[in-house]
Amino acid sequence: MSRPHAVVITGHAGAIGSALCRIFRAQGCYVVGVDQRRSAGSADCEIAADLSSSPLDDTVAAIRRAVDGKALRALVNNAALQVVKPVEALQPADWNATLAVNLLAPWYLTRGLLDLLEHSRGSVINIASIHGRLTKPGFTAYATSKAALEGLTRALAVELGGRVRVNAIAPAAVDTPLLRAGFAAGPSGLASLAAMHPAGRLAEPDDVAHAAAFLASDKAAFITGCVLGLDGGIGARLHDPA
């Protein structure tokens, strides 16, 4: 008799995290959520953790207890910290916190759960960002961390070979309450941003979740070391004053 599948999702209390939980649960997976905040029941098991505090040994131990007896199908490193400041205002604490959550935590959790992932032929899915390739002023720390996360994805895929697949998803703007709050003073700006995407709209949290579910599935068995651009075509668009 096969064991039930488990999926670990960090940052599960946010809009994208909640969508990830819902999609994987709809597939019959037992979802373990890791977040500083509590959610409205989006995960089957919630683990409170501050991913900016390293080492994460206690968090890894809690996750291992939660998935005990289940096949670990995927680790989805979705949690992220976005510091938006001009480069002159960035402080070492901003860099330390950003890199801890966006880069070191995915590495730490992957390392800590590696044997479980390998045993169940599971995979790691890192939620990167279009900012890893294409960014704008004020996002220096965030963009650097996401570019490094793409590098970590490729390096782990090579090092782990056929043991564990490692992929990333790099979304452009995703329609979340946090994004909308940034346009509260000028809602027309949100519509303009959506129109800039050749797809004619922003990404939805479900778009990210469905992509993650595909990468975790057997249908993606030959995909590893991939950074999937989920950008509605905006990364292919030339922006100039003409």
Which are the catalytic amino acids? 142
Helix axes 140-160, 105-112, angle to 10 degrees: 20
Q: How far apart are CA 79 and CA 66, in angstroms?
A: 19
